[in-house]
Amino acid sequence: MNLSQKFSVACPIRSVCDHHAQVFQSLDRLEGSYLGTRNGAAGIAPELQKLNPWIGAISYAAARLIPSLGEWAKVQCFPMFDRWVSKQIPKGCGILSSYGYAVEAFRKVRSNGGVTLLDAGNSHFKNYWEIVSEEHQRWGESVLPFPRKWYERGLQSIELTDWVFSPSSYVRNSYLAQGFPEERILHLPYPVDLHQFSPQGDTSPETGPIRVICTGGVSLRKGFPYLLEAVRILGKSHEVELLLTEGVHGSMTKVMAGYNDLKIQWAPRLGHDQLGARLKSAHVFVLLSIEEGLARTALEAMACGLQVVLTPNTGASDFVKDGINGDIVPFADPEATAAAILAAYHRRKSQGLFVDSALHQALAFGTFEQTLKQHMETIDRMGSRR
């Protein structure tokens, strides 16, 4: 393989792919950072920024005109972005993108001898689609997990992928279950800026209710029916208060109506400077997602020193020391969740805030950069899987 092969990074919106682009740039292997936006990515030289603001403008305008079709409108712009990228990538370049953004570009790169890299921000798209569809059906929700066109393009991306960058063991296992070659799945957790999340300033009450918090969006995919039921179960023997963030997804409207008996304190979406303080006003963070690549909200809670209760499907469960800084519970098991919340609460009361000293380092950009550089050595040595 050509060890000097450069890589194009193609994503219609600002994303974690920007971090990959920065590392490629530091290796002098970034051909260009392609974005369908007006503003480029921070830390990338202007001459390497390839911007097409019209794509973002069309998507934004369509979403504003018909808000309920915002995601559908965004997906309709993917082929436009794809064609634009495909026309510009020089022969011999490799490419990094994510699900469904650059199918035509992937196909062109492969035909010209380049290597295709996929940032797997979520589990294998087949797993994502099936597990969320099943959950929607369970609760009588007819809406699809995401637009079918995106699903179809995502599967095509995977078929054309030489290497997968996986942020968590959950994502990795989903690829193995679909038969993707194990040696071509490379573990690469995203860098997460945690400098505004620390254990200083604990304001959780010494007496009164057990305060349970989740800062993720209230939706079926986040497992909220099971959190609500777990709080109800725990509430039979203890006083419990649930801290949630405003903005309930339509899929949860009917479910929420059945839990009017719970004591819930709502808050608007907060910036990082305020979010840390809200987290530290609670005793236990709970996230029962059925599908996440790497849940940033859980990592922020851990950085604040909270005990956490997570499912294995959050990705962030990789950073839990079971029974020390949190508990891993099975998905869709409110009884196990209620027991874990109580155990975590008692640890919090007896031990105070707990922060894994290795967490910040594990999620630092420098760690991400070093790991990606090592992976590039493997990619250079083994090349494509054709």
Same domain, residue pair 170 and 23:
yes
pLDDT above 80 for 386: no
Q: Is the CB of residue 356 less than 8 Å from the CB of residue 302? A: yes
Q: pLDDT at position 377, please?
A: 96
Give the three-class secondary structure for 379: helix
CATH number at residue 113: 3.40.50.2000
Quote the CA–CA distance of 260 and 369 in Å, as a whole number: 47
pLDDT at 3: 60
Query: How is residue 203 written in tokens?
Result: 């304001």
Q: DSSP string of 108-166?
A: HHHHTT--EEEE-SSS-HHHHHHHHHHHHHHTT--S-SS-HHHHHHHHHHHHT-SEEEE
Residues 239 and 174 in one domain: no
Query: Residue 249's pLDDT is what?
Result: 86
Q: What is the pLDDT of residue 259?
A: 95
Per the domain annotation, does 333 fall within a domain? Answer: yes
Residues 238, 315 within the same domain: yes
With 0-12 / 13-18 / 19 or more C-beta atoms within 10 angstroms meaning exposed / middle / buried, residue 232 is middle
Residue from 304, 288, 318 nearest 348 by CA: 304
* Same domain assignment for residues 126 and 265: no
Token representation of residue 209: 């209710």
205 in any annotated domain = no
219 and 186 share a domain?
no
**What is the per-residue pLDDT across 200-245, written as a single tens digit (0 to 9) for each?**
888 898 889 999 999 988 999 999 999 999 999 999 999 999 999 9
**Residues with Cβ within 8 Å of residue 335, at least 6 apart in sequence:** 230, 233
Residue pair 210/284 in contact (Cβ under 8 Å)? The answer is yes
pLDDT of residue 352: 83
Residue at 353 is within a domain: yes
Residue-number span of the structural domain to which 105 is assigned: 7-191+364-382
Q: How far apart are the first and last CA of the chain?
A: 13
Task: Tell me: pLDDT of 71 over 80.
Answer: no
Give how many domains the chain has, as a whole number: 2
Look at residue 53 in the predicted model and tell me its pLDDT: 86
Is 257 inside any structural domain?
A: yes
Q: Is the pLDDT of residue 334 over 90?
A: yes
Q: Is residue 201 part of a domain?
A: no
Q: Are residues 228 and 182 in the same domain?
A: no
Helix or strand (DSSP H, E) at 357: none
292 and 368 housed in the same domain:
no
Kindly report the pTM of this predicted structure. Answer: 0.94
Q: Is 196 within the bounds of a domain?
A: no
Does 19 share its domain with 101?
yes
Residue 381: CB partners within 8 Å, gap ≥ 6? 1
What integer is the mean pLDDT of 282-289? 97
Give yes or no for a contact between 279 and 285, defined as CB atoms under 8 angstroms apart: yes
Same-domain pairing of 352 and 378: no
Question: What confidence category does residue 382 fall into, taking pLDDT thresholds of 50, 70 and 90?
Answer: very high
Q: Which amino acid is residue 306, in one-letter code?
A: L
In a domain, 102, yes or no: yes
Residue owning tokens 């020089």: 90
User: Is residue 63 pLDDT above 80, yes or no?
Assistant: no
Q: Looking at the structure, do residues 185 and 232 belong to the same domain, yes or no?
A: no
14, two tokens: 């600002």
369 and 287 co-located in one domain:
no
Average pLDDT over residues 328-357: 93
Are 187 and 303 found together in one domain?
no
As given in the structure block, the two tokens for residue 200 are: 């200083």
Token pair in block for residue 331? 């998905």
Contacts of residue 242, defined as CB under 8 A and 6 or more positions apart, other chains included, come to: 212, 213, 214, 227, 228, 231, 262, 263, 264, 265
Phi, then psi, of 307 in degrees rounded to 5: -70, 145
More confident site: 65 or 25: 25
Look at the block and give the residue holding tokens 């707990």.
354
Q: What was the pLDDT predicted at 357? A: 80
Tell me, yes or no, whether 236 lies in a domain. Answer: yes
Report pLDDT digits (tens) over 121-147: 999 999 999 999 999 999 998 888 889
Structure tokens at 280: 């530290």
Reference 280, options 354, 227, 361; nearest CA is 354
**Residue 374, helix vs strand vs coil:** helix
Residues in the chain: 386
